Structure 1
Amino acid sequence: MAKRLVPAFNRILVEKIVPPTKTNTGILLPEKNNKLNSGKIVAIGPGIRDKDGKHIPLSLKEGDVVLLPEYGGTEVKLEEKSYHLYRDDDILGTLHE
């Protein structure tokens, strides 16, 4: 049975995007210092409540590609895959093509 993590409150589960190190034909690519620290959202929490009890949903959705902070997040391993948990307000922005 596959495990599925549903984040609590305003947390977001992200799978980091690792740029390829070589091409399909086996040519090694040089590492670039200006690569973006990005990831794809795989699960989101339900949101939080304000002091009056009003529900505040998250501004992001599953499938969004986001820009992540250089440090932070909690690493989580599920079935040999590595993910990171962030709070909604830790995400720096979304990336669009």
Structure 2
Amino acid sequence: MKIRPLGARVLLKEIESEETTKSGIVLPSSAQEKPYIGEVLEVGPGEVNEGKEIKMVVKKGDRVLYSKYAGTEVKLEDQKYLLVKQSDILAIIE
């Protein structure tokens, strides 16, 4: 099964990271504050809102920083994804 976003929406996969303290203790992502970084898996076609065309700026494969309360979590085939509006993406990480 495949998810294809509609309008100006983007499908993200959250990037989880492990952090090591100075003393060498590894903190799993569940014990840390979420970094709100994701990888773009699919991008919608864009949309027209009140006569203005909204073009998609992000593309498949980009790493992005998104807003804390953004989007809707979707679980498909034991994988968690996040479906967000392009306007909830704060930055592209290069």
> Per the shorter chain, which TM-score range?
0.7 to 0.9
- Pairwise CA distance, 1:10: 0.3
- Pairwise CA distance, 1:21: 6.0
SS in 2 for 1:41: strand
Q: Of Structure 1 and Structure 2, which has the larger fraction of its residues in strand?
A: 2
- The structure 1 residue matched to 2:87, chosen from 60, 74, 89, is 89
- Pairwise CA distance, 1:61: 0.3
**CA displacement, residues 18-54 of structure 1 (integer Å, 9 cap, x when unaligned):** 00368xxxx75136867632000000110001434x6
Q: What's the TM-score once normalised by structure 2's chain length?
A: 0.80
- Pairwise CA distance, 1:68: 1.3
Name the amino acid aligned to 1:29.
Answer: V
Gaps of 5+ in 2: none
Take 2:82 and 2:33, find their aligned partners in 1: how far apart are those partners?
Answer: 21
Count, aligned residues: 89
Q: Which moved more, 1:42-51 or 1:57-66?
A: 42-51
Q: What's the TM-score once normalised by structure 1's chain length?
A: 0.77
| 35 and 80 in structure 1: CA distance in 2 versus 1, 3 angstrom threshold | closer
| 77 and 34 in structure 1: CA distance in 2 versus 1, 3 angstrom threshold | closer
Q: Percent identity?
A: 33
Name the amino acid aligned to 1:72.
Answer: A
- The structure 1 residue matched to 2:26, chosen from 24, 29, 35, is 29
SS in 2 for 1:92: strand
- Pairwise CA distance, 1:78: 1.2
